[in-house]
Amino acid sequence: MIVTVTLNPSLDRTIELDHLVPGEVQRVTAARLDPGGKGVNVARALLANGVDALAVVPIAGVDGDQLVGLLRHEGVAVAVVDVAGHTRSNIAIAEADGTVTKLNEPGAPLSAADLEGIAGKVLEAASPGSWVVLCGSLPPDVPVDTYASLARRFSAAGLRVAVDTSGPAFQAAVATGPELVKPNAEELAEAVGHPLLSRSDVVAAARELQALGARTVLVSLGAEGALLVDDGVVAGESPVAEPRSTVGAGDAFLAGFLAGEHAGASRREAFAEALAWGAAAVCLPGSRMPGPGDIDRSVVHLLPEPSPALLTPITEGES
C-alpha cells in the first residue's frame, strides 16, 4: 500500500470560461467540484488505476465532511483525523487557452496532538518497505520542520519517504535524506537559491539537492517535460496538443512514478509512466485524475540526455 499525507487538504472548485476579464460579469462554460490537496490527488490517481493507496487527511467542519464524502464517492480509502477550524476551499479559473488562475485559502491550523494523530494513522496502515508520500503546503502556524520530523520518523520505521512540498518546509525535509523528492522548476530554483535557465541548470540544481540529502530528484517542468536525476539523468517529454487544466497534473505525474515503482518497474520505466499520467491529467477538466482509459503511453518520449535548450516559463497548478 502507498500512503499519502496531506496536511492541508481542500475542496477544489474549477470554473471554466473562454477568457477571464477582470471586473466583468461573465458566463461560465463548465464547473466542477473535486477533493483536493497534493497527497489527496496522488491517492486519487493511484486508486483510479488500481494501485492500493490510503489518503491520510485532517478534516474540519462541514467542508471537511464534504471532502471525505467526495473521496469515498470516488472509492478512495481515507484515514481521517478530526481537527478544529474548517477545511479550506480553493478556486481555479481555467481559460480556453489553458491559462489557470488559482485562489487558495490558507487552511485549518494543526496542533501537536493533531500531527501525532496523523503520524499514528500512517504507522498503523503502512508496512516496512512501502511508500509514504508527504505532500502539499503547510497550514498556518504549523512549524516548517514538520515534514522533516515526519520524514525522520517514517524512515526510522522502515518506510520509503517521498516529499512534494515547497519553500522552507521542502528544504528542511530534503536534509532528512528522503528517498524521493518531486519539485517543479520554480520550487527547485527556490530551494537552491538561484534561477534555472536551462535543463542543464535543472540537473545541476538536482545534484545540489542530492548533496543536501535527497536520493532521487524527480523534476516536473510543465510543458517542457521532466527530468529524473538519481545516479544518472533521464529527460523526457509527453506533449499535449490541447491542454485543458494543469491543476493536479504534477500530482498525477508523481502518482505515475510511484505506481511504476510499486509494480517493480525500473526507474526509467516508472519515469515514462509518470510522464504518461501527467499528460493525461492535463487533458482532463479541473483536478480530475486520469484512469486507465485516459492514459496514452505513446505520447511519451525519453531522451538520451537533457537538452541544453533554454526553459520557458512554467506554470503548474499548486495545492
Question: Which own/partner contact pairs does 111-119 have at CB distance under 8 Å and 24+ positions apart?
Answer: 111/83, 111/84, 114/58, 114/81, 114/83, 115/7, 115/142, 115/146, 115/150, 117/58, 117/81, 118/5, 118/7, 118/56, 118/58, 118/81, 118/150, 119/150, 119/153, 119/154
Single out the residue of 282, 264, 144, 267 nearest to residue 217, CA to CA. Answer: 267
Separation CA 283–CA 318 (nearest Å): 17
Separation CA 300–CA 292 (nearest Å): 15
Separation CA 262–CA 131 (nearest Å): 8
The answer to whether the CB of 280 falls within 8 A of the CB of 48 is: no
The answer to whether the CB of 79 falls within 8 A of the CB of 55 is: yes
Separation CA 253–CA 69 (nearest Å): 25
Separation CA 6–CA 43 (nearest Å): 10
Amino acid 207 reads R
Cα angle value 254/202/246 (rounded, 5°)? 40
Residue among 97, 251, 294, 296 flagged as catalytic: 251
Question: Is 251 marked active-site?
Answer: yes
Place of cell 473535486: 34
Residues labelled as active-site residues: 251
